[in-house]
Structure 1
Amino acid sequence: MEVMKFPVILLLVALAGSVASAAPKVRWPRDVVEWEKLKEAEKVAQEEGKGFAFIFIPSIWDAKDAGVARSIDATNDAIRALKSFCLMVKGDYQEVVDASRGKDNGVPKALITGLSGAGNTYPLVVVLDGEMKTLLGKTSGKEINEEGSKVFREAKKKHRELQKSKEE
C-alpha cells in the first residue's frame, strides 16, 4: 500500500504544476518600459512617433478569483490594441497617487488626470502622447471588455491628428 502512494503523489504534483502553468498571465511585449526608465523612453517615443500606454495592474493577482482571469484578458487585449502606436509602460500606481497629493516626482500632469478618470477596476489604462502632455484616452477593466476597442480607436485617431499637426 505504501508503494502505491508515491506514484499517486507524483501524479498529483505533476497535475498541479500543469494547472498552475496554464493560469492566464499578462503578456507584456519585449520592449515594455519599466517605470524607472520612463525618462529615457520619452526620447525613444518622440523619435519613433509613438505615444505611451500606461497600464496599471496589481503586483499580485489572486489566481483563484474568476474576475482576475477577465482582468488579465482585458490587460492583454489592451496591450494588443495599443502596441502598434504606443510604448507600453508598467505603471506605478503609488507614484501617481503621491504626485496627485503634491509630491514632485516627475509624473506628468496628464497621467494624473487620466488615472483619476480611468475607473476603478484593473487594469487601469491611460494613453498619452509621446511628450506625455496630452491625454489621448483612458479606461479600466470592465470598460475594456465592453467598449475598449472604441476607446483605443479614438486614442489612435487623436494620436494621428497630433502627429499630423506636428508635421505641418
Structure 2
Amino acid sequence: MDDGTIVTNAITYASTSFSYFHSDHWGDNHHELISSSWHPPPPGWIKVNIDDSLQCSNEAGIGGIFRDHKGRMLLSFGFSLIHWDICTLEWMAVRSICNVIDDWMFNAKGIMVEGDNANVMSHFKNLTKLDKCLMDEASKEDFDFLKRFMLTV
C-alpha cells in the first residue's frame, strides 16, 4: 500500500470513528437529531458531506468530503472566507461542489449530498426536482453538472 492510501485510510477511520456532536452549538435550522454514525451511499454512488463554520469575527469556512460506498475518501475540499450568515455559508458549500468535482465521478450511478442545515438541504432537493426553465440563471449554472448523474439525492 502506498503512503497516500495509508494516510487516506487513517483520516477516514479517525473522522468516522471519533465524531460526536455538541447540540448546544446547533442553530434553529439544524436537524434536531443527527445520527452519530455515517451512513454510506449505495454501491456505485458517491456521497458528499458538506459543512460550514462561522466565528464571531465573521471568519468562516466551508468544505466537504466525497466518499464511496465503503466510506473511503475520494476527494475533500475547503475554503476560507468572510461572511455573517450560517445558512448562506451552507448554501455556498453546496454550490461549491460543481467547482471541485472531478470528471471521473460522473461515472457513478448517482450522487447524494448531505448537510446539517435542514432548510438548505430542503431547498437543494427542491431545486434538483424543479423544471430548469423555472430556475434563476445562477442556479442553472451552479447545478447544471447534476444532470450528468443518473440520480441526485
- TM-score, with structure 2 as normaliser: 0.27
> Which has the larger share of strand?
2
Larger Rg: 1
